């Protein structure tokens, strides 16, 4: 589908919905600074179907939350290696207004001449170049910052996050690109046997019907951090995830993939 417009997100968190309606489920979120292609406009002219450039994930956003940019500007920001916020929650002064932004948000300006039209930007938080790669230890430290974040279907922030949103954003801040959903993430990396597992590996799980529906990050050989009810650390073995509070297995082990080699 050809692009009909281009945009960049200038709000903290914007829901991406499955259908052009506020009543439709939220399937993901756009973070501040993420740019996107507009693919379609709804019949009532109130919604836009967009594709997030970072992961090619498609969904509908409220047209009032769209910030238009030119094709030239879109091409320029698609070609640079921009910086991302690594603070769990931070503030950015943008055009004389304060925005609260979250980890994984894209930072404008940063002394690059193509951002000359982005006025009055100030950011004093922690950031890094997007594809500057972290090792396992630093990535796991970032993951633990999300502990006790409530589970939210489609969420990608410390105010609410789902299992694959959690893995995607943690790996994004660590310079490792993952798709949005667990069904896509399982296709990435190198498959690892249980006997070779280590911290930083992605672990995938099935439900009682045998459908793969969950992903988490191994902390070490025997512990996993994942979003289930909240972001939590549980025990892990060849059977799956053992919830330490319920004293029961909640997810059945399926496969391990290694992203950080």
Answer for the pair 135, 260: CB distance below 8 angstroms, yes or no.
yes
The tens digit of pLDDT for each residue in 46-59 reads: 999 999 999 999 99
Identified catalytic residue from 35, 66, 176, 214: 214
- The answer on pLDDT for 114 being more than 50 is no
- Identify the residue with better confidence: 141 or 76: 141
Reply yes or no on whether 163 is catalytic: yes
Confidence bin at 256 (pLDDT 50/70/90): very high
Buried b (16+ CB within 10 A) or exposed e, 157-174: bbebbbbbbbbbbbbbbb
Structure tokens at 222: 């025997």
Residue of 46, 52, 123, 119 lying closest to 89 (CA atoms): 123
Domains for the chain: give ranges and CATH numbers.
Answer: 5-129 (2.30.30.40), 136-258 (3.90.1720.10)
- The answer on pLDDT for 145 being more than 80 is yes
Confidence bin at 70 (pLDDT 50/70/90): very high
Burial (CB < 10 A; 0-12, 13-18, 19+), residue 218, is buried
**DSSP one-letter code for 68:** B
- Identify the residue with better confidence: 178 or 209: 178
Answer for the pair 15, 154: CB distance below 8 angstroms, yes or no.
yes
- pTM equals 0.94
Confidence bin at 119 (pLDDT 50/70/90): low
Q: How many Å apart are CA 122 and CA 108, to the nearest integer?
A: 9
The tens digit of pLDDT for each residue in 10-30 reads: 999 999 999 999 999 999 999
Answer for the pair 35, 45: CB distance below 8 angstroms, yes or no.
no
State which H helix or E strand residue 107 sits in.
Answer: strand 106-107
Confidence bin at 207 (pLDDT 50/70/90): confident
Reply yes or no on whether 214 is catalytic: yes
Reply yes or no on whether 68 is catalytic: no
Identified catalytic residue from 35, 163, 176, 251: 163
Confidence bin at 2 (pLDDT 50/70/90): confident
- The answer on pLDDT for 241 being more than 70 is yes
Confidence bin at 93 (pLDDT 50/70/90): confident
- The whole-number average pLDDT for the span 118-140 is 88
Length of the chain: 261
- The answer on pLDDT for 117 being more than 70 is no
Identified catalytic residue from 35, 176, 226, 251: 226
- Residue 22, Cβ neighbours under 10 Å: how many? 11
Angle among Cα 53, 56, 59 to the nearest 5 degrees reads 100
Question: In whole angstroms, how large is the CA radius of gyration of the chain?
Answer: 19
The reported pLDDT for the residue numbered 76 is: 86
Residue of 192, 193, 163 lying closest to 178 (CA atoms): 163
- The whole-number average pLDDT for the span 80-94 is 91
Tell me the three-class secondary structure of 1-66, residue by residue.
CCCCEEEECCCCEEEEECCCCCCCCEEEEEECCCEEEEEEECCCCCEEEEEECCCCCEEEEEHHHC
Mean of all residue pLDDT scores within the chain:
94
């Amino acid at each position: 589908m050809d692009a009909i417009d281009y945009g960049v997100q200038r709000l903290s968190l914007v829901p991406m919905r499955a259908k052009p309606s506020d009543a439709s489920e939220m399937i993901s979120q756009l973070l501040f600074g993420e740019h996107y292609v507009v693919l379609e406009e709804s019949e009532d002219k109130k919604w836009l179907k967009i594709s997030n450039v970072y992961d090619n994930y498609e969904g509908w956003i409220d047209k009032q939350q769209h910030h238009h940019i030119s094709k030239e500007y879109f091409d320029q920001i698609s070609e640079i290696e921009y910086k991302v916020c690594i603070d769990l929650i931070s503030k950015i002064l943008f055009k004389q207004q304060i925005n609260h932004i979250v980890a994984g948000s894209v930072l404008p300006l940063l002394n690059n001449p193509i951002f000359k039209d982005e006025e009055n930007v100030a950011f004093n938080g922690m950031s890094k170049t997007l594809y500057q790669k972290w090792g396992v230890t630093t990535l796991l430290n970032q993951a633990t910052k999300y502990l006790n974040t409530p589970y939210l279907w489609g969420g990608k922030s410390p105010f609410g996050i789902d299992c694959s949103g959690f893995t995607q954003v943690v790996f994004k801040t660590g310079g490792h690109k993952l798709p949005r959903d667990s069904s896509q993430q399982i296709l990435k990396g190198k498959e690892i046997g249980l006997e070779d597992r280590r911290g930083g590996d992605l672990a995938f799980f099935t439900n009682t019907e045998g459908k793969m529906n969950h992903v988490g990050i191994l902390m070490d050989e025997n512990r996993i951090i994942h979003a289930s009810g909240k972001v939590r650390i549980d025990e892990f073995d060849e059977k799956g995830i053992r919830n330490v509070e319920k004293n029961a297995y909640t997810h059945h082990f399926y496969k391990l993939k290694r992203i950080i080699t």
